[in-house]
Structure 1
C-alpha cells in the first residue's frame, strides 16, 4: 500500500512573529475558499494571484491560487500549512480575480470551477502530476551542481521515463520534497506535466553549421573548399550552406547555422553527403528551442487612409461615442468592412500602450483574421483557442503576463487570459450562440463576461454585427449603450440578390434532382463557368439524419440518449451527435430482417456526395465538425477555397460567420424550413441571423452576388425580411412579442436541468423543486417542470424548470440565493442520492 503523505514543517515562535494565513482557490467545485497557514519562511514569498501547493485531504496534493493573505485563523478547523510557493510572481492578475468572483456569483457556480476552466492544465499541478527529464538535459553540458537527492531522481528517470510526485516522495523517503523538484525545474533538468495531458516537449528545430575549425578565418574556409574539390556531392552541400547562410559576409554568423531540413529536403543534394560531413566533423548538428509563435516579418503601420469615407466616418463615430459610453455596437451590414475599422482601432489602442482582446465566435474565423492582423502587429499578436495544445496556451498566457503580446485574437475561453493593461475589447459577430459555454460549469456567455472584464479593467468594449442580438439592440435603443451604423458595403460591392425556390412546386414539376432544384443546379453551373465560387449551406452534418426500414419502420436509436442515430457514409457508421456513441450500419433490419433500409433526410456529407455525381468536374470540399477535427484543418480548407483550389464549399454554420471570400458569387441554402421551425423563443431571430449571415458571403469585391433559398413555404414572413435585409422590422416584431410574453431582455432567465438515471425519481424531484421555488419566489415566474424534447442524454433522464426574474427588480442576487438554497435542500433528500441539478443562467 502507498503510505499516506505527511508533511512536517518546523513551527516558529508565534509570540514573536506575525502568523499569516492564505485563502486559496482550489480547482474543485467547493462552495468556500480554504484557509492555510503560511510557514514563516514563506511569508515574504506568498502573494495574491500566485500558485501554492497545499495538501487537501489525507493524500492529495494540489496547486491552487492565492485569493487573499491575512492574519485571521479559520474558526471551524485547524489550518494546515502551505507546502510550497510555486510562483515568484502572480500568474493571475487582480482584475482576473475580480472577474472570476463575479462569474462564480452571476453564473451560480463555484470559484473553483471558474479557476479550473480558466487555467491551462500545465498551470494546474496535483499529487498525480508527473515529472520527466527535460529533452535538452545533458549530463556532460550541465553546469549546475546537483545534490544527492537530485542525482537519485535523475537516475530513476533514466530507468523509468516518468515519476509521479507520490513516487518521488517514496523514492527519496522524504515527506517534504517539493523544494527538490522546484530546484530541478529551475536548473532545466526536468519538466512537469499532467498525467491526463500530453507530455510537454518544447518545440525544437534541428540546425547544422560548420564546425569552428573551419570558420576561424577566410583562409580556413578556403582550405575546406579545396579539400572537397574532389568530392562533388559534399561540395554541393557546402555551396548550398554558404548560399543559405551569410557566412561569407561575416564568419561569426556561422554560429546561428541553418535549419537542417533546408538541406535534407533539397532533392538536388545527397543525403549521404550531408551525413558524411556530419560524421567527419566538418559540419555539426545542434538543436534550438524555438517559440511556437515565431516573430513575424514585414510588420508595418496600419494607415487610416486605407478606410473608405463611410468606414472612416464610422470609426470616428465609435471613438466619439466612447467618450460618453463604455460599450458601443457597430451595426454594419455584411461586407461593409467592419474588420478594417477594428484594425484601425486596435492600432490606436496599441500605440497608446494598451492591450486589446479581439473575440471571435469560431476557430474557423481566426485563420483569415490572424493572417491580416499578423501583417500589421507581427510578433505582438497572440492567438488563443481550443485547438492549440496545452503548451501553446501556456505560452500565450505567459506572453500576455510578460507584455510580449499586446493584441490577442481568440474564441470564448480568451476571456480568462491575464491582461494587465487591457484598454479595448472587440466582440465580433456578438450575436453568435457560439459565445455561450454549455458544459461544464461555468456556463458563461463570453460577450457578457467581456463586458464585465472591460468594467474591471476600465476598458472600452466594441460589439460588432450585421444582425445584432435583440438584447444588444434593445440596450442601444434604451440609451444604455452607444450605436454606430454602417449600412453600405465596402467599395463597389452591393448586397446580393436573394431569391426563393419553392421546392414543393419544383417537385410537382419534376424539377428536383435529389435535394437540388434545377434552378440551383443551373446557377451553380453558370457560376463555375465564370470561374467563380459557390457556398452551399446545410444546417446538419453527416450523410443523413437517420435510416429506417421500408417494411417495418424500424429506426436505430442511441443506447444512451432519446435520439435516433445519424448515418455517416464515409465511416459507414451510425453516430449519436449528443454522446458520441457509434455502431456499424447494419446490412439488414434487426427487427424484421428486411434489407430495405433507406436513408431519410440529408446532411452535408450527402450533399457533397451527390454534388460529385451531378457535377463530376467540380472540386468540392466540406467544412463541418467532422472535417475540422484536426488542429490545422480549418486553416487548410479556408486556404484552399481562398486560393481557388476548391470550387464549391459545403458546410454547416461554420461557413456563415464572417468569412471573406473574394470570388464567391453564389450561396445556396438547402433546407431553410428546419431552421425556422424550432421550439425556442429565439427561433425567428436565429433563423434571420443565419440566412443574412450566409447570404453575406456572396457578392464581395465588386461581383454581383446571388442567394437561392430552397423552402417548402415561401410565404413565411421571415423570408421577405431576409430579401429586404430588414433588421429593423425583425427587431420591432421580436421586441413587442418578448415584452408581451416576458422574455429577455425584459427578464433574466435561469434554466434548471434535473438529471437522474431513472425517469420516475427525476420527475418527482423536479416537481418538488418547482413547488419549493414557487414558495420562495412567488408564482408566475417559475415555468415547469417538463421533459425537454430530447428527454434522455447519456443515460440520464431530464426534466427542466425555467425561472424568469424581473431585470429591474433589484433582487437578482437574493433570488439566486433562494434558488441555490432550494437546490441544496433537494440534493440533501436521501431519496435522490443520484440526482444532479445543472443551473444555466441566461440559457441560449
Structure 2
C-alpha cells in the first residue's frame, strides 16, 4: 500500500465541505508531549480514542501510536502530517487506561510515551519499516539510458537521479538505507519530491508481532456423525487398510457422540498413520480439516475445579473483618504472619467478587511466586484465570490483554506490569507481599511503584484493595494505624504449626575455633545432616549469586573490575568467566594479575554457585538444586525447580531472595541464612526494615506444616538489637522503634523523597551539573531539603558517572504537583546550557 502518496496526493481533490479532523497521538518516545496528526478523510469515521495508528515521525521514522483524542482543531506552530494507517477496528486501549497513563506520567515525572512503552506488551507494538521502490509506471516507461534525458522534463536534481539509479539496482530500500547509501541527512525531502512526481512510491512492511496460535484440526463430517453414517463410511474405506485404521483411531479418540468436537491432526496421525490416507478421507468428504485458534498456556485445560476451600474460624473472622472495613474504607491491610493462610483468605474474597460480576487483579512481586500460586488458584477457578508476566511470550501476553478486554478473563494474576491491563469492571485488587521492593520499577522510566499505582487505579474504578504481608512496609502500617486503611491482623499460623525457632550462630567464634566447613558453621552443618536423615528438606538463603563476589590477587590484592561500571566483576565458575551484574559485561578469568603478573588469583567470598559446589562435596549423597537468576533464565526455569522440590526430588535448595517469598513446602523444617550482615549494614535508611522483612520472610518457609521449624542465622553481629526482635517475630516492637526514627529524621511516611540522578560520561561534568542543579533548587525548597549532590555507592554504571541529589518534602507542607513542576523547570533550564547537552537527569519519585 502506498501510504504516503495515497493520503497526501488525494486530499486536495476531496470536497472541502467534508470535516477535517485531527488526532492527538501518544507515541513511544521520551518527549513530554503528544503529537497532532491529520486524519485522512476516508478514516474520519473510524479513528477514535484508544485505537493504534501508524504515523510518520521526524524525517525517517515511522512509529505506532495510540490515539488519545480526536478534534477539529489544527495544531499551532506546525503543519500536521497525515496518519498513514489505522490498525484497529475497535479501541484496544480503554479511556480509563489513557487516564491512568497520564496520571503515571504526571506523578512519576516522565513522558506518556514512556508509559505507553511499559504498558503495551511488545506483541501490540508493530515493527515498522518504510520502504521505497520505483513507481511501476516510471519503471515500465523509462530505462536507465533515458533518465538523463528526462532530467529537465521532471526537474530532477542530481540527488534525485542518484536515488533513482540506486533503486534501479536495489529494487527497494528503507528510509535509513537510502540516507546512508546517498550520504544525505535530509533524504525525506528528496523522497517526498519523487513521490509527488510519481517516480517513487512508499510502501509499508508492517509486521504485527502478535499472531494467534493455530492448529490443524480434524472432525468427522456431520453426514457421518451417526451409527448409520459410520457404517457407510467404513463401506467406502474397505479397499484401504490405512484409511480404516485412521477411521478407527479417530473414533477411539473422539467418539461420534462428541460431535462436533474435533482432535488435532498431529494427535490423529500420531507417529505411524498415513497422512496421504487422511488427505483422501478429507477429499472424499468423510473428514473435515480446519484451523483452530488455541491458547498458548500450558495449564489452560482444567476440566474440573476443586470444591470451595474451608476456612478456619480465625481466617473466616479475618475475611469478615475485611468486608466490614470495606463499608467505609477502600483499602485494607491484611497483616498475616507467615503460614497464617493468607492465600486461602484471598480465595474467599476473590470468589465473592467474581460472583458479583466484577474483575479481580492479584499482584505478586516475583515471577518465582506465580507458578506455585497459579496452580493452586487454577484448581479452584479453572480457566477464568489469566496469568501475566514478562517470562511469557509476546503472544501469550497479548492473549491475556485481549481476554481481559473482551471479558473472557475476569481474574488476572501477575507482576507489576499487570496494572496496565484493560480492565473495565475492576472490583478488587490484591497486592500480595505489599512490602516487597520488586513492585518498584527502577529502569527504564516510568519508575512507578505498582502498589501505589494500584491504589490509584482502584480509586478510578471504585474498586477495593487488600494489601497483604507478614511484614508490612512501615508506610502501609502507619496509614493503617492512622485509620486511613482498615487493619486486619492474623497472628497465628494455620493448623497446629507454630513460628520457627531462630538460632544465631557467631561466625567470629566459629572461625576462631576453626570449626567452619567451607562456609558452613558446625551448628548449621550438623542440623542439615539431621534433617536429611529424617527425610526432611533444607532451604539455604544467600543473597548473592555467582561463585564468588570477586577474584583477588594474593600478592598485591588487585581485583578485576568492570570496564563500564565502578564494581568488581563477579566470578562464575561454570562459565569460567567474570561478569558484571549491572551492565552485563563479561570476560574470561585472567591467568595472571594485571598489576603484578602473579598467578595467585583466588576467589573471595561466596555466592549461591559456590554453596552448591561445597554441598556436593560435603554431602555427596544429597540432591542439591540452586534457584537464582542464572538458573531461571528460561520461562519454565522457576517451575521446574519448584516442582522438583515439591516432589522431594531435591533435598537442599540454595537460592537468593527468590526462595524467601510466598513459597510453601511441606517437608522444609530447616532454613539456613548466610551473609546476613551485608544486608543489615547497607547504608540506606530502609536497611533495618528490609533486613527484618527478608529474615522474617525466609524464616517463614520453615515448619509451615509440622510446627517444628528452625532457622539458623550465621552472623558476625549476634548481639545486634534487631536480631532480638526477629527472634521473637515481634513486628510491632520493630515498627514502634522504626517509626520514631523516621519521624525524627523526616523520612517516609513523614516525608516524600525524590531522587535526581545526574549522569555524564565525564565525572567532572556530572559533578558540575549536579552542583548547579542543587543550587537552583535550594532557594525555593530550602537547603535542608535538598541533600547532595554526592557520588552514590556505585559511581559509574554503563560508562556514565553519577551524582545523586535527594529531595525531602514533608507531607502536607508542599503542593506536590507545583513542586514537581518547579523541579522539572530547573532540570529543563539545565538542559538549555549547551555545555550540558549530554547530561542526563533521571528522576525517581518515591524512590525505595
- CA deviation after TM superposition for structure 1 residue 388, in Å: 1.1
Matches of 1:823 and 1:166, distance apart in 2 = 32
1:328-372 Cα distance to aligned partner (Å, 9 max, x none)? 100000000001111111111111010011000000111011111
| Deviation digits for residues 523-578 of structure 1 (CA, Å, limit 9, x no counterpart) | 11111111111110000000000011111211111000111000001111000010
User: What's 1:332 paired with?
Assistant: 336
Look up the SS of the partner of 2:129 in the other structure. coil
Report what 2:840 is aligned to.
836
- Normalising by structure 1, report the TM-score: 0.87
Under a length normalisation based on structure 2, what TM-score does the superposition of the two structures give? Answer: 0.87
Name the CA distance, whole Å, in 1 between partners of 2:289 and 2:595. 66
**Structure 1 residues 296, 683: closer, same or farther in 2, change over 3 A?**
same
Structure-2 residue corresponding to 1:192: 207
Structure 1 residues 620 and 261: alpha-carbon distance in aligned structure 2, compared to 1, 3 A threshold: farther
Q: CA deviation at 1:226?
A: 6.2
1:11–1:39 Cα contact (<8 Å) kept:
no
Q: Note the C-alpha offset of 1:775.
A: 2.1
Select 2:462's aligned residue among 440, 452, 458: 458
Q: 1:77 to 1:736 in 2, by over 3 A?
A: same
The corresponding residue for 1:148 is: none
2:302 is aligned to 297
Equivalent residue number for residue 246 of structure 1: 255
CA–CA separation in structure 2 for the residues paired with 1:662 and 1:164 = 59
Change over 3 Å in CA distance of 1:34–1:718 after alignment to 2: same
| d(CA) in 2 for partners of 1:347, 1:163 | 56
Distance 2:691 2:42 in 1: 62
Distance in 2 (CA, whole Å) between partners of 1:12 and 1:224 is 64
Contact 2:38 2:82 in 1 (8 A): yes
Per the TM alignment, residue 286 of structure 1 is displaced from its structure 2 partner at its CA by 6.6
Could you tell me which runs of 5 or more consecutive residues in structure 1 were left unpaired when the two chains were aligned. 131-159, 183-189, 194-198, 266-270
After TM superposition, give the deviation of residue 320 of structure 1 in Å: 0.6
Pick aligned residue for 1:260 from 260, 263, 266? 266
- Identify the residue that residue 401 of structure 2 maps to in structure 1: 397
Cα shift at 1:380: 1.4
The 5 A counterparts of 1:197-212 are 200-205=210-215
CA positional deviation for 1:806: 1.6
1:523 matches 2:532: no
**Does 2:46 match 1:45?**
yes
Aligned residue for 2:770, secondary structure, equals helix
Deviation track 1:723-744 (CA, whole Å, cap 9, x = no partner) reads 1001011111111111101111
- How far apart, in 1, do the equivalents of 2:45 and 2:175 lie? 26
Counterpart position of 2:180: none
Match of 1:218 in 2: 230
Q: Superposition pairs for residues 374-523 of structure 1, below 5 Å? A: 374-523=378-527
Per-residue deviation, 1:395? 1.1
Question: Alpha carbons of 1:228 and 1:530: their partners in 2 closer, same or farther (altered >3 Å)?
Answer: farther
Number of residue pairs matched? Answer: 785
Cα distance in 1 between the residues matched to 2:9 and 2:749? 56
Partner of 1:768: 772
Kept in 1: contact 2:22–2:70 (CA 8 A): yes
Deviates more, 1:372-381 or 1:432-441: 372-381
**1:596 maps to 2:600:** yes
Structure 2 CA distance for aligned equivalents of residues 816 and 835 of structure 1? 20
C-alpha contact 2:127 2:207 (8 A) present in aligned 1: no
Asked whether the equivalents of residues 124 and 210 of structure 2 are also in contact (C-alpha less than 8 Å), the reply is: no
For residues 14 and 406 of structure 2, the distance between their equivalents in structure 1, rounded to whole angstroms, comes to 38
SS of 1:813 mapped into structure 2: helix
Q: How far 1:163 moved relative to its partner?
A: 10
- Return the alpha-carbon distance in structure 1 between the equivalents of residues 3 and 336 of structure 2: 65
Distance in 2 between residues matched to 1:595 and 1:211, nearest whole Å: 76
Residues 602-655 of structure 1, C-alpha deviations (whole Å, 9 max, x = no match): 000000000011111111110000000001111111111111111111100000
User: Residues 735 and 163 (structure 1 numbering): CA distance in 2 closer, same or farther, change over 3 Å?
Assistant: farther
Q: What SS does the aligned partner of 2:510 have? A: helix
Considering only aligned residues, what root-mean-square deviation do their CA atoms show, in Å?
Answer: 3.1
Residue correspondence of structure 1 range 676-695 to structure 2 within 5 A: 676-695=680-699
Task: Give 2:55's aligned residue.
Answer: 54
Unaligned runs of 5+ in 2: 132-169, 178-187
Which residue number corresponds to residue 26 of structure 1? Answer: 27
State the distance in 2 between where 1:662 and 1:191 align: 51
Q: Which moved more, 1:500-509 or 1:465-474?
A: 500-509
Q: Does 1:784 align with 2:788?
A: yes
Deviation at 1:58, TM superposition (A): 3.1
Does the CA-based 8 Å contact 1:60-1:126 persist in structure 2? no
2:148 corresponding residue in structure 1: none
Mapped to 2, the partners of 1:201 and 1:573 lie a distance apart of 39
Rounded to whole Å, the distance in 1 between the matches of 2:679 and 2:562 is: 23
**CA distance 1:218–1:812, change in 2 (3 Å):** closer
Q: Residue 98 of structure 1 contacts residue 456 of structure 1 at CA under 8 Å; is this kept in 2?
A: no
Contact in 2 for aligned 1:496/1:695 (Cα 8 Å): yes
| 2:545 alignment partner, SS class | coil
After superposition, the Cα gap between the structure-2 partners of 1:310 and 1:778, relative to the gap in structure 1 and judged at 3 Å, is same
C-alpha change, 1:302 and 1:443, in structure 2 (3 Å) is farther
Residue in 2 that maps onto 1:144:
none
